[in-house]
Amino acid sequence: MENLVERVLHRFKSRLDDSNKILIQRSLGYSAWCHCEFYQPATMNEVNEFQENTGFYIPGDHKDFFKIHNGARLFVNSEVFDDPSWNIFSLEEIASGIEDYSIPSHQYPMAKYDDVLICIDSYSFKEQKREYLCVRSIYTPPDHDGEMLNLSFELFLDRLIVSQGDHFWDWPKITSKIFYRNNK
């Protein structure tokens, strides 16, 4: 039986055309043709080696993803010069990101969109919480944990695809009052 990561990826890929393109619609009527790139799977040896080298433990649902793809780029719009597509990091990109981004030592970057980082909070995961993802800017100082998303990897992936790459966690913050005040 498929796990949620497999089911989400399988259904999503079935909607892509032969060149891995899809027409997306995001908030405020924005639409574009985008393509997706899926990396080759990681081996369990590579996952174990990553854990040994970094001291970070990868949650089971995130391992499920690595068994299928060692990273992916989603909703890439090649018509836009500075395309801010979603990059779900490979093991190598996570290792580089640990060095490249100023983040707390108990977090590691899992995905990036423009200046937005999605990180796995190892404190939450070690406490066996299923809600271990946080969002932060690449400019957020390392002494700040960012905002907890109250999500696991598999729920994040599911919602990212359903929202077609939109920042779904911000939707409840955009009330009618705020929207109309900012869009006069």
pLDDT at 79: 75
Question: Is the Cβ–Cβ distance between 118 and 111 less than 8 Å?
Answer: yes
Query: What is the structure's pLDDT at 78?
Result: 74
User: Percent helix, strand, coil in the chain (nearest 5)?
Assistant: 40, 20, 40
Confidence grade of residue 42 (pLDDT, cut at 50, 70, 90): very high
Strands (E), the chain: 21-25, 31-38, 72-76, 86-88, 107-113, 116-121, 133-137, 147-148
Put residue 172 in one of left, alpha, beta given phi > 0 → left and psi -120 to 50 → alpha: alpha
pLDDT at 123: 85
Among 22-26, 85-89, 156-160, where is mean pLDDT lowest? 22-26
Residues 2-15: pLDDT tens digits? 799 999 999 999 99
Q: If you compute the radius of gyration of the chain from its CA atoms, what whole number of angstroms results?
A: 17
The pLDDT assigned to 178 comes to: 77
pLDDT value at position 153?
A: 97
Q: How confident is the model at residue 180 (pLDDT cuts 50, 70, 90)?
A: confident
pLDDT at 17 over 90: yes
Model pTM score: 0.91
* Widest distance between CA atoms in the chain: 55
* pLDDT tens for each residue of 73-89: 999 987 765 667 899 99
> In terms of Cα–Cα distance, which of 113, 117, 90 is closest to 101?
117
List the helix and strand counts (H, then E) for the chain: 7, 8
Instruction: Report the alpha-carbon distance of residue 87 to residue 76 in Å, rounded.
Output: 9
